């Protein structure tokens, strides 16, 4: 029942209808659906079931560590320490074999050494960009996010899916033209 708390962790991204902010459980579900729909765009052949498992596990540590806004420099500097401490607290609540398997998936996602992890991480970066674009920059505008701020995460997206990076570039150009994102 501990993972039910993921539904209470709010992210900065708004739902498309702008009715409220997205929670971490919704984010994880959305990423899993993106993996199913966009799997053919991974930079390399990937084990889709492994990508799905990784995406469902990747934010569980945020139950204790909270969500980190990708454009908050101070929070990013402390993110790894907070999340590792949260992992040390969360995963041991499971039977040892499950704890080991799920912790290994989380570590793999964090380290990006496999094609599956690189693709999963790229989706994790693309999804909030999609929400921002389709909500008229509802998170970008209030925080003064610039195109260069988004481009700083290019490698994470491009390594997992050059095709998705191409789409994101065009989307960012359009977002600047529309005034959703600062140039």
Instruction: List the domains of the chain with CATH numbers.
Output: 2-178 (1.10.3210.10)
**Reported pTM:** 0.95
Give the whole-angstrom CA distance, residue 65 versus residue 52: 22
For residue 161, give every residue at least 6 positions away whose Cβ sits within 8 Å of its Cβ, in sequence order, or none: 38, 41, 42, 43, 119, 122, 123, 126
Judge contact between 108 and 117, C-beta under 8 A: yes
CA 122/CA 119 separation, integer angstroms? 5
* Site of tokens 């799905």: 52
pLDDT given for residue 26 in this prediction? 98
DSSP string computed for 111-129: HT-SHHHHHHHHHHHHHHH
In the chain, % of residues over pLDDT 70: 100
45 phi/psi in degrees, rounded to 5 = -60, 135
- 14-30 tens-digit pLDDT: 999 999 999 999 999 99
Angle between helices 73-90 and 96-111 (to 10 degrees): 160
Give the span between the Cα atoms of 13 and 138, in whole angstroms.
Answer: 8
150: which residues sit within 8 A by CB, 6+ positions away?
Answer: 129, 172, 181
Instruction: For the chain, give the mean pLDDT.
Output: 97
Confidence grade of residue 118 (pLDDT, cut at 50, 70, 90): very high
Q: In whole angstroms, what is the distance from residue 136 CA to residue 181 CA?
A: 9
Buried b (16+ CB within 10 A) or exposed e, 82-96: bbeebbeebbeeeee
Which residues, at least 6 apart from 68, have a Cβ–Cβ distance to it below 8 Å?
Answer: 75, 76, 79, 82
pLDDT above 90 coverage of the chain, percent: 98
């Amino acid at each position: 029942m501990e993972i039910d708390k993921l539904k209470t962790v709010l992210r900065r991204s708004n739902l498309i209808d702008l009715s409220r902010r997205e929670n971490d459980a919704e984010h994880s579900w959305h990423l899993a659906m993106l993996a199913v729909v966009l799997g053919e765009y991974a930079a390399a052949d990937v084990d889709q079931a492994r990508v799905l498992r990784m995406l469902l596990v990747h934010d569980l540590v945020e139950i204790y560590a909270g969500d980190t806004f990708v454009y908050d420099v101070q929070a990013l500097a402390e993110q790894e320490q907070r999340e590792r401490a949260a992992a040390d607290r969360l995963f041991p609540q499971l039977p040892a074999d499950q704890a080991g398997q799920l912790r290994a998936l989380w570590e793999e996602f964090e380290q990006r050494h496999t094609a599956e992890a690189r693709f999963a991480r790229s989706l994790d970066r693309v999804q909030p960009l999609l929400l921002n674009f389709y909500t008229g920059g509802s998170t970008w505008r209030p925080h003064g996010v610039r195109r260069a701020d988004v481009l700083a995460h290019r490698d994470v997206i491009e390594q997992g899916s050059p095709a998705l990076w191409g789409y994101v570039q065009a989307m960012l150009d359009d977002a600047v033209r529309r005034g959703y994102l600062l140039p």
